[in-house]
């Protein structure tokens, strides 16, 4: 396989303020699996070291704690890019709008910057169809509940259908699992070809990729941490990343990934690590993956 040449982004401003197409910040804090005081501390430390984008979801059960941490941080709300995601039980029009209002109450804000459909309807023909919940999400934007809307975990076919309903320009991002062990190339190419920004979640594969000898060797060459290399690999392809951490030193260290420039050879070596190792695949909810 011939090495692929990847464009190197010109990053000259602080990573927390860096923005990519569709105004989705390149670097944010993920809060999946973080609860109670743990998520409060994580958000507080992240904001303190320079993060300005926070990602949560209704199903995470931590919106209230995220809202508390933001309110107590002293960072003005207008400086924070806040994302939440609508759960599949809230897809009927009135339920979706009501659920977002509830999310805003918990988050202590009058709007979020981005609202996503967390997972596509598991059975679009039987459950609430995309033709109902996507226009409802657009209505939430029209009502000022969110500044932007998008999707998450949508396949090529589902994204194509979403484009037909909303138009590609209305979809700020598709948030999908991407890491060196799951590079999702077919879906990535489709999204890029259609001008839809990609947000990569689970960038470290629950810590699995930072143990990889190839990643560790590249980290050694760059005098970086393996986590920084995995994040730099995603950033260098133009993806946004939302890693989570409960340790202040890791939160700070992860931000430095934006300054790392991987070589074509580094990128080619990481490309070979793809093994289709999917971690987010909830039974009864996950679609038929590409």
Q: What angle do helix axes 213-222 and 226-236 make, rounded to 10 degrees?
A: 90
- Tracing tokens 């679009």 back to the chain, one arrives at 124
By the 10 Å C-beta count (0-12 exposed, 13-18 middle, 19+ buried), 58 is classed as buried
Q: Which long-range contacts (CB under 8 A, 24 or more apart) does 45-48 make?
A: 45/248, 45/251, 46/251, 47/73, 47/75, 47/80, 48/73, 48/248
By the 10 Å C-beta count (0-12 exposed, 13-18 middle, 19+ buried), 100 is classed as buried
Do residues 198 and 178 lie in contact, with contact meaning Cβ atoms separated by under 8 Å?
yes
Q: What are 17's two structure tokens?
A: 């303020």
DSSP annotation of 116: E
Q: What angle do helix axes 264-271 and 213-222 make, rounded to 10 degrees?
A: 170
Tell which residue, 89, 93, 90, has the closest CA to residue 143: 93
| Catalytic (active-site) positions | 60
CA 150 – CA 174 distance, rounded (Å): 6
Q: What sign results for the dihedral spanned by CA atoms 185, 190, 192, 197?
A: negative
The alpha carbon torsion through 278, 137, 46, 253 (nearest 10 deg) reads 40
Strand order in the sheet with 53-55: 29-30, 53-55, 81-86, 114-117, 149-152, 171-177, 198-201, 240-241
């Amino acid at each position: 396989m011939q090495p692929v040449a990847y464009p190197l982004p010109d990053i000259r401003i602080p990573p927390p303020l860096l923005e990519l197409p569709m105004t989705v910040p390149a670097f944010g804090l993920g809060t999946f699996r973080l609860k109670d005081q743990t998520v409060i501390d994580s958000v507080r430390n992240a904001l303190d070291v320079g993060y300005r984008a926070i990602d949560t979801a209704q199903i995470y059960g931590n919106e209230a704690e995220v809202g508390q941490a933001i309110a107590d941080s002293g960072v003005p709300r207008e400086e924070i890019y806040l994302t939440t995601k609508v759960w599949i039980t809230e897809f009927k029009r009135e339920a979706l709008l009501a659920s977002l209002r509830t999310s805003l109450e918990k988050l202590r804000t009058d709007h979020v910057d981005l609202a996503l459909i967390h997972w596509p309807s598991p059975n679009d023909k039987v459950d609430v169809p995309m033709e109902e919940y996507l226009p409802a999400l657009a209505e939430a934007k029209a009502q000022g509940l969110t500044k932007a809307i998008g999707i998450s975990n949508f396949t090529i076919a589902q994204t194509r259908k979403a484009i037909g309903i909303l138009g590609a320009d209305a979809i700020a991002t598709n948030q999908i699992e991407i890491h060196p062990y799951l590079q999702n190339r077919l879906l990535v190419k489709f999204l890029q070809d259609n001008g839809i920004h990609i947000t990569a979640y689970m960038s470290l594969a629950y810590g699995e990729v930072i143990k990889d000898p190839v990643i560790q060797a590249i980290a050694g060459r760059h005098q970086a941490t393996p986590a920084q290399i995995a994040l730099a690999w995603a950033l260098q392809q133009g993806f946004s990343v939302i890693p989570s951490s409960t340790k202040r030193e890791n939160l700070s260290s992860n931000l430095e990934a934006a300054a790392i420039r991987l070589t074509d050879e580094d990128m080619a070596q990481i490309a070979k690590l793809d093994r289709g190792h999917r971690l987010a695949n909830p039974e009864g909810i996950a679609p038929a993956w590409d």
